[in-house]
Amino acid sequence: MSGPDHPAPIPADECGARPNESEGRRAGILGDKPRHTEPVDVHLILRREGTAGPEVLLSRRAGQVYAAGLWHLPSGHLDGPHEDVVTALIREAKEETGVTIQAADVRFAVTVHHRSPGGSARIGVFFEVRHWQGTPQIHEPAVCDAMDWYPLDDLPSPMVAYCRAGLDAYRAGNRLAVHFQQSTDPIPYDTAADRLRYIPGARDIPAGRPDAPVREFAQRAVGRIADWADVSWAREDSRVWRVRGAEGGVWFVKIHQNDRFHYREVGAYRSWVPTLGAAAPRLVAVDSVLRAIVVTAIPGRSLHGAVHTPDEQRRIFHSIGALAAAIHHSAPAQPASGEPVLLGKLERHLDGARAHVAPGDEEFIRAMAQRAAHLPDLELVPTHGDFQLRNLLWDDGTLYVIDFERSEQGPAVRDFVRLSDAWAGRPDLYEAAMAGYGRPLTPAENEHLVVGAVLDAVSGICYGTSHGDLELIERGCRTLARLRAADSA
């Protein structure tokens, strides 16, 4: 096992240099400038699936070697120009651990250009292997005193910083990284002296990850990120990633589709959302140029499409009512603005929805719009603005809420518009929600609820038409049919 920062002797030139070449060139000198002669070493990421996730094999260096006492991947130098990197990896694995690896099972993982605190540089090529023969054991006790499997997400300490850099790049899905340490840096990995720098590929960013400025913003906020998972909602232009930190922790990174949504959500997080406590995420960082935010993760599964027993549904809707009350009481109510409800975009939405509405629907929609102009004004409170099952998470009896980009001051009943489909035909769920809310809706609020549901259905059909979302179109048409039937009863 060669030391990762002790270069192997440069082999004699076997390339057949011409007699007129200078000795300086043969020794690695080109003109007055030294030519790079970094050694190449290989690192084995022997990976298996453990009970808590992927695990990698690590060995602890010992004896008269560089970085004794630190954990490291099985690794070593190429023996000479006759040996390629895959052959070297297979040989080192056998010598150090006793396992037999077939070349067909070797997968390239990442290359790291490294410089040690002592100033020597090298190129490290890391390979992943998931299939092998034999049981890993210590085969070089003079330079290794321990060997064990460790979770990839919970690496041991102390670890050689160079090795840790390669594993962090591997976990993050990067293929090339630079790890140039300073002379004052410690040899063991230290978060305060983390020199790892990823080099992006020449083509598009790999699927599932944002571009470099967003990644850099997020990592400034939470530290190095090991994993990006795109969890964006299919119907929105906003992008959302669930990220896992290299040192643990989970957050969400979101890019808003426009400035209006960005400032609405940031404003909500900075004003009334903290009053909800653990029921909502916490804002970690904001970049308004990128229209990006980082928020903490919360537990639970979206109620959209979830199946629960009738009793549990009633408990859930009681909690929904209580959470709506907490939102609406998070700041003092303001006088009504006197503006018409949801009428500004009606004509545009009707034009987009007209191909799907049933005969008589357009007349009904326009009648409801006229009714909206004469509705009594309602006081304004903080509203979520998209208070529906997909933005509500349920976890073992506890309700959570996410996504505040449509938050603004409005009538409290605004937050029940998109929920009304969920309790349609289930008076028990409506009663449970109102019990949790602490009071029933007033007659004026019920009028606003019906008009708001009609106009929101038209908006949904228009959006579904332009985005090819048949489910959204069907839901909007179903809502219109239900409300027309109720209005004519």
**Domain presence at residue 127:** yes
Helix runs in 46-113, H state only: 85-97
- For the ranges 191-205, 357-371, 442-456, the lowest mean pLDDT is seen at 191-205
Contact 293, 214 (CB under 8 A): no
Both 187 and 238 in a single domain?
no
Confidence of residue 21 (pLDDT cuts 50, 70, 90): very low
- Look at residue 217 and give its three-state secondary structure: helix
What average pLDDT does this structure show over 431-444?
96
**Domain presence at residue 238:** yes
Q: Where among 296, 331, 363 does a domain terminate?
A: 296
What local confidence, expressed as pLDDT, does residue 237 receive?
65
What local confidence, expressed as pLDDT, does residue 9 receive?
38
Tell me the sheet residues that pair with 106.
129
Both 223 and 365 in a single domain?
no
Both 311 and 456 in a single domain?
yes
**Domain presence at residue 6:** no
**Domain presence at residue 4:** no
Both 391 and 474 in a single domain?
yes
- What kind and span of H or E run contains 309? none
350: domain CATH number is 3.90.1200.10
380 pLDDT more than 60: yes
Distances (CA, A) of 453 to 459, 461, 481: 10, 12, 12
What local confidence, expressed as pLDDT, does residue 287 receive?
95
- What kind and span of H or E run contains 128? strand 121-129
Confidence of residue 31 (pLDDT cuts 50, 70, 90): low
Both 385 and 470 in a single domain?
yes
- For the ranges 62-71, 134-143, 340-349, 419-428, the lowest mean pLDDT is seen at 340-349
Burial degree of 460 (CB within 10 A; 0-12, 13-18, 19+): buried
Top pLDDT among 54 and 295 is at 295
Confidence of residue 6 (pLDDT cuts 50, 70, 90): very low
Both 236 and 262 in a single domain?
yes
Buried b (16+ CB within 10 A) or exposed e, 9-32: eeeeeeeeeeeeeeeeeeeeeeee
What local confidence, expressed as pLDDT, does residue 234 receive?
63
Q: Give the chain's length.
A: 489
Q: Which of 232, 291, 289 is nearest to 257 (CA)?
A: 291
Scanning the structure block, which residue is given the tokens 């959209």? 304
Tell me the sheet residues that pair with 184.
none
Token duo for residue 33: 């400038």
What domain range is 340 assigned to?
301-488
Q: Measured between alpha carbons, how far is 62 from 158 in angstroms, rounded to an integer?
A: 13
- Look at residue 235 and give its three-state secondary structure: coil
Confidence of residue 36 (pLDDT cuts 50, 70, 90): low
Both 256 and 148 in a single domain?
no
Contact 91, 152 (CB under 8 A): no
Q: How many CB atoms lie within 10 A of CB 36?
A: 9
272: domain CATH number is 3.30.200
Both 224 and 356 in a single domain?
no
**Domain presence at residue 320:** yes
Both 154 and 237 in a single domain?
no
Token duo for residue 53: 């996730």
Q: Which of 416, 414, 391, 387 is nearest to 402 (CA)?
A: 391
23 pLDDT more than 70: no
- For the ranges 29-43, 165-179, 248-262, 356-370, the lowest mean pLDDT is seen at 29-43
Q: How many CB atoms lie within 10 A of CB 7?
A: 17
- For the ranges 178-182, 360-364, 383-387, 402-406, the lowest mean pLDDT is seen at 360-364
- For the ranges 136-150, 202-216, 373-387, the lowest mean pLDDT is seen at 202-216
* Amino acid (1-letter code) at residue 347: E
What average pLDDT does this structure show over 202-229?
80
Q: Measured between alpha carbons, how far is 302 from 221 in angstroms, rounded to an integer?
A: 26
Q: Measured between alpha carbons, how far is 472 from 65 in angstroms, rounded to an integer?
A: 65
What average pLDDT does this structure show over 81-102?
95
Q: Where among 174, 198, 222 does a domain terminate?
A: 198
* CA geometry: angle 259, 265, 267, nearest 5 deg: 95
110: domain CATH number is 3.90.79.10
Q: Measured between alpha carbons, how far is 217 from 222 in angstroms, rounded to an integer?
A: 9
Q: Measured between alpha carbons, how far is 253 from 273 in angstroms, rounded to an integer?
A: 17
Domain count, the chain: 3
What average pLDDT does this structure show over 282-296?
96
Tell me the sheet residues that pair with 47.
56
Both 310 and 289 in a single domain?
no
Determine if the peptide bond prior to 158 is cis (ω within 30°).
yes
Token duo for residue 473: 């179109």
- Look at residue 484 and give its three-state secondary structure: helix
**Domain presence at residue 12:** no
Top pLDDT among 237 and 282 is at 282
**Domain presence at residue 7:** no
Q: What is the mean pLDDT of the chain?
A: 86
Top pLDDT among 151 and 15 is at 151
**Domain presence at residue 58:** yes
Q: 331 — phi, psi (to 5°)? A: -150, 155
Both 152 and 269 in a single domain?
no
Scanning the structure block, which residue is given the tokens 């303001």? 334
In SS3 terms, 368-432 reads as HHHHHCCCCCCCEEEECCCCCHHHEEEECCEEEECCCCCCEEECHHHHHCCCCCCCCCCHHHHHH
Total-model pTM = 0.61
Q: Where among 231, 264, 296 does a domain terminate?
A: 296
Q: Measured between alpha carbons, how far is 62 from 70 in angstroms, rounded to an integer?
A: 8
Secondary structure tally for the chain: helices H, strands E = 11, 21
Both 256 and 354 in a single domain?
no
What local confidence, expressed as pLDDT, does residue 236 receive?
61
